[in-house]
Amino acid sequence: MFEPRSLPTLLQKHGYQTFFAGKYLNQFKGAEVPNGWDEFYGLHGNSRYYNYTLRENTKNVSFTDIYLTDLLRDKAAAFIRNSTMNHHPKPFFAMVSPPAAHAPFTPAPRHEGVFPHVRALRTPSFNAPDKNKHWLVRSAQHLSNDSVFTIDKYFQRRWETLLAVDEMMVTLITVLNETQCLENTYIIYTSDNGYHLGQFAQPFDKRQPYDTDIKVPLLIRGPGVPAGRLMDMAVSLVDLTPTILEWAGLPVPNYIDGRSFKSELSQVHQTNKKQQFSKQRILLIEYWGEGNDDTYNPACPGNRTDHLAQCTPDADCHCQDSWNNTYTCIRDFRYNLDRIYCEFRDTENFLEAYDLHQDPYQLKNIVYDLLPMERALYGLLLQNLTKCTGKTCNI
């Protein structure tokens, strides 16, 4: 059985009732429920809003007309109600993973056309080709008017898909309140990736090492979490597991990546300690290009053997991924820095670096403004962070 050391497995072993509903993994079509889940409703394949199949515990169930986000809402609400009905209820862990706002960007009918005048953000890099980037981004040309129109339409529809997610959150918080669990429950709201829409003349995708693609929201509510505060802390999604384990009063195994930020949340009024945490951190970012024979699109120029990917006519056939769109990056928050340094595994061994304090839109590649010693040290850090595991990665 796979994933024997995952977060739900650890929680389940310590008496938690566990629940999952939504998109589990890309191309998931499991004949069995993964380890750790008492209730499991995993979406088969990639993101869908209608005409989908869920692995519902011991069987597969197909749905045609039920909007997926609404179904996940109802499954999660029922789980919470059922978990709190016993005289001696178990603690519970519920993870709800709606595909929104992922392609194909299908809003619920009640939300279609709600944002007709909203446009994608016109950042300084919008529809601005940049010759100082790595080859895949550097190859972009100015977007056509049709592509810009498509980008705006996708932006509107992505917002519209999230309205059902908003409604789901209202329902779940209402149920938690009705069952008298709200004040004793941590709620984490986040995402797995960002999304660029027109930046550097890249039409729409998520596979680049820029803040549009790698920065995600993180909202937390729960006991001891200060209300209404925007906290300046450098955290990664891998930090969630150790944080949740500490909230549950459980030990964090040495093999767990990331580090808990539980104590930092409780130190919100101690400004120096908060700033110490936010500025003394190094995070690893990496991506492996996904181009292969099967990603060839005959509707666009090129050959199957080029191993390009994400090439579509609605994006002016600008391919947004390839077999060697592969990189590792350091996000450096030490010494009052906010800097990213990236090494690409392409035929050029291209390098990029940006000072996010001075250049938040990542317009100026400063990699060769760094001292040779700085580049060498970043290279050594990348070697270590791509090979380390667990607590040895906490630099």
Q: Does pLDDT of 394 surpass 80?
A: no
Q: Which residue has the higher pLDDT, 169 or 89?
A: 169
Please check whether residue 57 is in contact with residue 33, taking contact to mean a CB–CB distance below 8 angstroms. Answer: yes
- What percent of the chain has pLDDT above 70? 96
pLDDT 10s digits, 315-345? 999 999 999 999 999 999 998 899 999 999 9
Give the global pTM: 0.92
Q: Residue 276 is encoded by which pair of tokens? A: 């110490």
Q: Which residue has the tokens 């990029």?
A: 352
3-state secondary structure of 124: coil
Average pLDDT estimate for 56-70: 95
Instruction: Report the pLDDT value the prediction gives residue 2, as an integer from 0 to 100.
Output: 59
The tens digit of pLDDT for each residue in 2-42 reads: 578 899 999 999 999 999 999 998 888 888 899 999 999 99
Number of Cβ within 10 Å of residue 232's Cβ equals: 12
Query: Alpha-carbon torsion 25, 171, 261, 228, what sign?
Result: positive
Going 67 to 70 to 74 to 80, the CA torsion angle's sign is positive
Q: Rounded mean pLDDT of the chain?
A: 93
Whether the bond into 78 is cis, omega within 30 of 0: no
Chain center to CA of 231: 19
